[in-house]
Amino acid sequence: MRLVVDLNKCQGYAQCAFLAPDVFAMHGEESLIYNPHAPEEQRERLARAVAACPVQAITADGLEGLGERGTGSAQEAHDVR
Amino acid sequence: MTHPSMLRRITDFANRANPYPVYEELRKTPVLHEEDGPFVISSYYDIEALLHDPRISSDAVNLVDPGEDEVSGPEATGLPPSFIRLDPPEHDRLRRIANSSFGPPHRPRRIENMRGELAEIVSGLIDGLGDAREIDLVDEVAYPFPVTVICRLLGVPREDEPRFRAWVDPIVAGLDPDTRTSADSERTAQEARLQLGMYLNGLVEQRAKEPRDDMLSDLVNSQGPDGAMTTMEVLSTSVLLLIAGHETTVNLITNGMLTLLRHPEYLRRLREDPGLSPKIVEELLRYEPPVQLLPQRTCITDIEVRGVTIPKGSRIWLALAAGNRDPERFQDPDRFDPDRGDLQHLGFGSGIHSCFGAPLARLEAQIALSELARRLENPRLVEDPPPYRQNAVLRGPRHLKIAFDGLR
Amino acid sequence: MSADHLGQLRREGRIVIVGASLAGLRAAETLRAEGFAGELTLIGDEPYEPYDRPPLSKSVLLGKASPHRTDLPHRREIDAKWRLGVAATGLDLSAKRVRLADGDEVEYDRLLIATGVRARPWFKEDEARLDGVCLLRTRDDADDLYQRLKAGPRRVFIIGAGFAGSEVASACREMGIPVTVAERAGAPLVGALGGVIGAVATGLQTENGVDLRTHVTVTGLEGDATGRVRAVHLSDESVVEADVVVVSLGSMRNTEWLNGSGLGAGPRGIACDAGCRAFDFRGIVTDDVFVAGDVARSPHALFGYQFLSLEHWGNAVAQAQTAAHNMICDGADRRPHLWMPAFWSSMFGVNIKSVGVPPMGEQIMITQGSLAERRFVGVYGYKGRIIAAVSFDNTRWLEFYQRQIERGAPFPVEFPTVDRRPEGRPVDADFPDPSLPTHGPMITLSGYSPADQQLVFHPARH
C-alpha cells in the first residue's frame, strides 16, 4: 500500500508509531519517519493509524475492505468553515 | 435570573443522559461568562485554538482565584501536581520521561506487544459471562478490562483493585466541577490522592530495588537525557496514569456499546468487519467523548476570544463535547456516522496536553467493541437511557444493562 | 468564456499537465474530483509514476524505505494518459501545443505547468562527472547515494549546508560515516532561517560529529586515475579526502523548455497571478495556461504582493488543487492561492518547522523554550509585525503563530507565553546579504515584475 504523510500537518502525536510501529517510527521526540510503501501484512495496522491520526495527515491507498467505502483512499478532512 | 444559569445546566445531573441540547444552546454564546464563574468556550475552532495557545496555562498558580485544592499546594497535599496540571518546561520534561517508558521513540512496541494480551483479557471476561443472558456491561467488561490493563502496564497488583478503588472514587469526584464547590469533597479528594500516592510508593520502592518489565519500574529507574524523576514526581505521575488509564476508557467502551446498540446497523457491520472498529472509535470520541470538558485552564495575560476579553488569571473551561458537535466544523454533527471522511475530534484534546494514553485507549476500545459485537448474540438495551455517573467531566453510564440470547 | 464553452471543456476538453510529480498528480485528482470528464494527459521526464521526494533524504538514507518505493498514493482514479520518461521540450502558445522530446506533439485546451525544479549540478562539468560525485533530487539519485553510503565510504563530503545537505549529513552520522560539510555562509541553514538559528544548527552538527567548515567554498574536486573522486579542495587552501561528494547547492527551475514560448518564464520560475494563471513575457495574464508547485512564482497578499517562489511540499499540493479548480471554472467561482508558506525538516533527531517567510525577518525573538536546549519557538519580525515563526521540537505551538502572521500581529511579541526565558528578547535575525545567493533558501522573494529577468547564479571562485 502506498502512503504519504503531510508533515506540515503532523504534530508528532505519534499515534501512528504506536499503532503501526513497523511502518511509522519517531526519530527523536517529534520527527516522524515512515515507510511510504507498507507491505500487505500491515494493512490492518495501517488502517488503524490512518483513522487515529489526530490531524488526519496520513493518506494511503489500497485500504479497501477495512471498514472503507468508496474508493478506499483516506479522504481529506472536510472543513465546513 | 429568570432562567437557570447555563453553568448549572451543564453540571445538572438531570442533563447527564443527554447534555447535547444544553451544549447546543451553550454554543450560541461561544464565550460564556456568568457572574464570577468561569469563561466557557464551546466552539470547535476556539477550543482548538486555545489548546495551542501559549498564553493558556494549565498550572493553578496562574489562577487569580484558585479553588480549595489549588491553594493548598504540595505541602498540604503531600503530592506535587502531575504534568497534566503543569506548563512547559516542567510539563514537557515530565511527560517526556513518562513517555520514555510508554511509547516511541524509546519504547515503540510496548503497546503493540500488548495487543494479544488485550484480546485475551476481553475474551476471558466475555467467556466469564457464562450462562447469563442479562448483564451490566460496566461491571462485567467495561470497567474490569481497562483496570486489568493499566494494572499490568504499571505493575500494580490487580487484586489490590478494591483498595485503590476507595481512593480513586473521591479523586475522580473531585474533578467534577459540581462537587468542587464543596470544600469537604475537595479535602476528601486531596486526602485520597495522598493515600493513593502512599500506596503506590510501596510498589515504587520495591521496583527501585527489583525492577520488572512494567512502567513503575521504568519511571523510578529512568535515567535518560532528562535525568530522573524525583520520588514525588514518580508518585504523582503514577497516580495520574493509574486513574486516567481506566476512568476514561470505561466510559469510552460503555458509551461505545450504548451508541452501537442505538445504531444497530453499525453494530451489525462491526460484527461482520472488525476493520470498521478504528473508525467507530474515532467517531465515538467525537460523538460521545469520555472527557466532556477541561475545567482547569487559565490565561497568563488578557486574551480576546470572539471579541470577548478574558482577563488574566480567569478560569477557562474548554467544552470539548460541545465543540465536537459544532455545526461550524462538522456536517450533520448530531448524527453518529463512522463513515464520515472527516474523523477529527477533540475527544483526546489537542496540543501539548493531548491525552497521554490515547493509543492504548484506542486499542482497548477497538478490541472491546469488536469482540462484544462478534460474541454477543442479538444484544439489546434493557433500559435506555441507562443510569449515569454523577460526574459531568468524566461522563458515562454507571450501569449499562444489556440482554442477549447467548454467546457466539 | 460562455457557460456553453465551459461546459464543453468540462465534458470533452483536453487538459495537459506537464510535470508528473506531486503537483501534477494532485492537480489531476482535483480535476477529476471536480467533474472534468475530458481527456487528461500527464507528461513527465522521469520514467516513473509520481513519487514522493522528502523521504529520499530521510527514510531512504536511513534504510527505512526503498528509494524505488516512495510512490505517492492516489486519492482517486484519474483515468489519464501517461507520457512518462519523455520531457516536454517546447510550447506553442498560439497553436496550444506541447512539443515532446520524442518529436510528438500534444494539443491542449488548458495546460498546467508543474515541471518543478532539479538539483543544481556542480558547476565544473568534468568534475561533476567524477565517480562518487552525487546529487540528491530523484529516486535514482537517492538509490545511488544510498548504495554508496551503505558501502561504507571513508568520508562523505557535502557541499552546501542547507536543509538537504544537513539532512544527508545527519543520515551519514547515523550510519557512523565520517562527514565533512562545507558552507559558504557562517552556519548551516542561514539562508532559510538566519544566523541566530544557524548557530543552533551549527551546534547540532558539530555535537553529532560533523566536520563543519563554514565561510569556505569548494574550489575543485580532484579525481584519481580511474576517474573516481578522491579529494575536495577548499577556498582556505585545505584539502579533504573523500570518496563520496554530495553536491547540495539548491535547485534550478525547470523552465528552459519554455524559452522563446512567450511565457514569463525564466530561472526564477514562471510568474502567475493569484489564480495560478501564467503571465506572458509582456505581463499579460494568459487564460489557458496555469502554473503550480516549485516552478511557480505567485504574488502573496500577506507579503506585500511580492512574487514568492516556494519549494515547499504543502505549497505544491495546495497550488495544484487551486490551479486545477480554476482551470475548469469561470470568473467568480475561481479561488486565489493564499497558502501560508510552511515547511518541515528533520535532522539529528530534531524536528524543524517553519511558517511564514523567515528570510523577510529583520529580527527574531525566542518566545518559548531555549536555543541552548534546542527546543524552542522563534518569531521573526518585519516592519513591526510578525512575519514568520520557526520551531525546533515544538511544533504544537506553531499554528498559534501562524494565526498571528495571518492577522499581522505586532512585533516584538509583547504578551507573555508559557516557558518564556530571559533570552526571549528581539535580536537581529542575522540573515546573510540577500544579494548573495545562498544554498537553496527554499523561499525566494522575487520582486514585483511578472516578466522574469535573467538572474544567473555564479558560484564564487577563488
Cβ contacts (< 8 Å) between C417 and chain B: which residues? 54-55, 300
Residue C447 is predicted with a pLDDT of 78
Q: Residue type for A38, please?
A: A
Does the structure show a pLDDT above 80 at A71? no
* Whole-number Å distance between alpha carbons of C277 and C292: 9
Does the structure show a pLDDT above 70 at C85? yes
Q: Residue type for C397, please?
A: W
Query: The dihedral of CA B14, B16, B17, B23: what is its sign?
Result: positive
- The CA distances from residue B189 to B138, B178, C111, C181, in Å, are 23, 14, 68, 58
Strand pairing report for A58-60 and A3-5:
antiparallel
| Minimal C-alpha gap between A4 and chain C (Å) | 6
pLDDT band at C112 (very low <50, low <70, confident <90, very high): very high
Q: Cα-flanking dihedrals φ and ψ of residue A7, to 5°?
A: -80, -5
Query: Edge-to-edge strands of the sheet including C218-223?
Result: C218-223, C229-234, C239-241
Percent of chain C beyond pLDDT 90? 87
Give every CB contact of residue C301 below 8 A, 6+ residues apart in sequence.
C274, C336, C338
Domains by residue range for chain A, with CATH = 3-60 (3.30.70.20)
Strand pairing report for C133-134 and C244-247:
parallel
Predicted TM-score (pTM) of this structure:
0.94
Residue A65 is predicted with a pLDDT of 54
Q: List, in sequence order, every residue forming a beta bridge with C305; answer none if it has no partner.
A: none
Query: Integer distance in angstroms from the first to the last C-alpha of chain A?
Result: 32
Nearest to C274 by CA among C255, C297, C303, C293: C297
| Minimal C-alpha gap between C36 and chain B (Å) | 22
| Minimal C-alpha gap between A35 and chain B (Å) | 15
B331 and A21: CB-CB below 8 Å?
A: no
Please state the ipTM of this predicted complex.
0.94
The residue of chain C with its CA nearest to that of A74 is C75
Nearest to C96 by CA among C158, C31, C41, C144: C41
Query: Is residue C216 within 8 Å of C240, Cβ to Cβ?
Result: no
Residue B174 is predicted with a pLDDT of 85
Please tell me whether residue C385 adopts helix, strand or coil conformation.
strand
Give the mutation candidate from B102, B282, B353 for the A interface (greatest A CB count, under 10 A).
B282
Does the structure show a pLDDT above 60 at A73? no
Residue B66 is predicted with a pLDDT of 67
Give the mutation candidate from C29, C175, C344, C355 for the A interface (greatest A CB count, under 10 A).
C344
| Minimal C-alpha gap between C152 and chain A (Å) | 22
Query: Is residue C343 within 8 Å of A9, Cβ to Cβ?
Result: no
The residue of chain C with its CA nearest to that of A26 is C349
pLDDT band at A77 (very low <50, low <70, confident <90, very high): very low
- Neighbouring chains of C at 3+ CB pairs under 8 Å are A, B
Question: pLDDT tens-digit profile of C190-207?
Answer: 999 999 999 999 999 999
Give the mutation candidate from C346, C347, C400 for the A interface (greatest A CB count, under 10 A).
C346
A31 and C69: CB-CB below 8 Å?
A: no
Domains by residue range for chain B, with CATH = 6-407 (1.10.630.10)
- The CA distances from residue C91 to B275, C261, C293, in Å, are 49, 6, 19
Name the residue facing C62 among A6, A33, A71 (closest C-beta).
Answer: A33
Does the structure show a pLDDT above 60 at C254? yes
DSSP string, B296-332: EEEESS-EEETTEEE-TT-EEEE-HHHHTT-TTTSSS
Name the residue facing A18 among B104, B329, B341 (closest C-beta).
Answer: B104
Cell of C443: 523561499
Query: Is residue A25 within 8 Å of A73, Cβ to Cβ?
Result: no
* Whole-number Å distance between alpha carbons of C250 and C195: 18
Query: Is residue C192 within 8 Å of C430, Cβ to Cβ?
Result: no
Percent of chain A beyond pLDDT 90? 75
CA dihedral C323, C324, C330, C331 (to 10 degrees): -20
Cβ contacts (< 8 Å) between A19 and chain B: which residues? 111-112, 359, 362-363
**Number of cross-chain residue pairs from A and C with Cβ atoms under 8 Å apart:** 93
Question: pLDDT tens-digit profile of C25-80?
Answer: 999 999 999 999 999 999 999 999 999 999 999 999 999 999 999 999 999 999 99
Domains by residue range for chain C, with CATH = 3-54+71-118+252-333 (3.50.50.60), 125-250 (3.50.50.60), 342-437 (3.30.390.30)
In chain B, which residues have pLDDT < 50?
1, 69, 71-75
Does the structure show a pLDDT above 80 at A69? no
Name the residue facing A51 among B103, B109, B279 (closest C-beta).
Answer: B279
List alpha helices for C189-261, DSSP H.
190-207
The residue of chain C with its CA nearest to that of B54 is C417
A25 and C342: CB-CB below 8 Å?
A: no
Q: Cα-flanking dihedrals φ and ψ of residue C231, to 5°?
A: -155, 160
Does the structure show a pLDDT above 90 at C318? yes
Nearest to C236 by CA among C211, C219, C222: C219
DSSP string, B178-197: HHHT-HHHHHHHHHHHHHHH
C397 touches B at CB < 8 Å: yes
C237 touches A at CB < 8 Å: no
A19 and B359: CB-CB below 8 Å?
A: yes
Residue C446 is predicted with a pLDDT of 76
Give the mutation candidate from A27, A33, A58, A63 for the C interface (greatest C CB count, under 10 A).
A27
A11 touches C at CB < 8 Å: yes
Look-up of cell digits 471522511: B341
Query: Is residue B248 within 8 Å of B347, Cβ to Cβ?
Result: no
B52 and C367: CB-CB below 8 Å?
A: no
Task: Find the mean pLDDT for residues C389-401.
Answer: 98
3-state helix, strand, coil in chain C (%, to 5): 25, 30, 45
| Minimal C-alpha gap between C25 and chain A (Å) | 13
Cβ contacts (< 8 Å) between A75 and chain C: which residues? 75
| Minimal C-alpha gap between C406 and chain B (Å) | 14
C73 touches A at CB < 8 Å: yes
- Neighbouring chains of B at 3+ CB pairs under 8 Å are A, C
Query: Is residue B326 within 8 Å of B334, Cβ to Cβ?
Result: no
Residue C195 is predicted with a pLDDT of 97
Nearest to B64 by CA among B303, B312, B308: B312
Give every CB contact of residue B22 below 8 A, 6+ residues apart in sequence.
B6, B9, B10, B15
CA dihedral B83, B85, B87, B89 (to 10 degrees): -20
Cβ contacts (< 8 Å) between B348 and chain A: which residues? 54
Does the structure show a pLDDT above 90 at C247? yes
Residue C460 is predicted with a pLDDT of 46
